[in-house]
Amino acid sequence: MITQNVDRLHFKAGSKPIELHGTTHEIICLNCGELTDRHLFQNRVKKLNPEWARAVEALESGEAGSDANFGMRIRPDGDLDIHERFFRKENFYIPDCKKCNGILKPNVVFFGDNVPKPRVDLCMSLARSADALLVVGSSVMTMSALRLVRAAADMGAPIAILNIGPTRADDLAHLKISARSGEVLPQLLDMGSMSVPSS
């Protein structure tokens, strides 16, 4: 399984996919590549910024949008919506890498970044050797995902797509199901298999 999700949702479900675009659960140093658990990093941020830590605690205790938390709200995707007045504070500190003092960022591939080559090579190898490819819940809009579908198609693997709405790989699909994955996948599991036409 290869996922474009960066939230470790598949891990919570018991799978161990390759995270094509990385994960928000790790922090990476742009200089030395050292990986840090996001929670450990957040603890360092809180220690360096006690006012921020109190604001986060206020948010976690249910005071969304209050003065106690600088107007922060938790968005549906888990990110924080921070009021601009917080950014006027000149005393917010971001930790450096403990190993080399380098700059840290979430271990995700942002738009415009490249997927690390070893990960690309592994995913391309899997796509090229697949007997079939099932795309679930993706519009396949990123080139990194589209390349994988193209690689499987070039090797003659049947492609099935389960997604609401069009995808960038629709022209490669032997089977396209426009429906919610949460409705279709349980039925597929009950059936035990799915036959994908090869032409």
Catalytic machinery residues: 21
CA distance 159 to 105: 35
32 in a known ligand binding site: yes
The kind and range of the H/E element at 54 are helix 50-60
First to last CA, the chain: 24
100 in a known ligand binding site: yes
The DSSP output letter for 96 is P
Distances (CA, A) of 12 to 7, 16, 122: 10, 9, 23
Tell me if 151 sits within 8 A of 124, measured CB to CB. Answer: yes
Tell me if 28 sits within 8 A of 104, measured CB to CB. Answer: yes
29 in a known ligand binding site: yes
CA distance 18 to 2: 5
Three-state DSSP class for 57?
A: helix
Amino acid letter for position 144: S
97 in a known ligand binding site: yes
| Binding residue ranges for Zn(2+) | 29, 32, 97, 100
Per the annotation, where are the binding residues?
29, 32, 97, 100
